[in-house]
Amino acid sequence: MKIGFNYGPVTDGIIGQNKVLYDIWGDTVNLASRMMSTGVVGRIQLPDACVPFLIDHFKLPKRGKVRVKGKGEIVTHFSVERKTPEQIKINIENRAAKKINSTDA
């Protein structure tokens, strides 16, 4: 199984009259689909833009540039495992310390 992940705005709606279906559309969905189709079996692939939102909680090694239909080459990462609660706490504390130090300058 391959999994592609992305985040962002989507359009959603219910379609059909006899067989009603719920669906979502948009660039966010298309890129997630491309992450899946260019991915690797047994891995979750995501675009570089997702990393800042997930890095505190997951190990995200860089895969490198991948040619994506309609987008060209984009940098992608794999989500390989969830970090431990201790690692998450340290990451969040370090980020808070960096934020405080950057406002001192």
Q: What is the set of active-site residues?
A: 34, 69
Number of neighbouring beta carbons within 10 Å of residue 99? 9
Q: What is the DSSP string of 30-77?
A: HHHHHHHHTS-TT-EEEEGGGHHHHTTTEE--EEEEEEETTTEEEEEE
- Which residues, including other chains, have CB under 8 Å from residue 84's CB and lie 6 or more apart? none
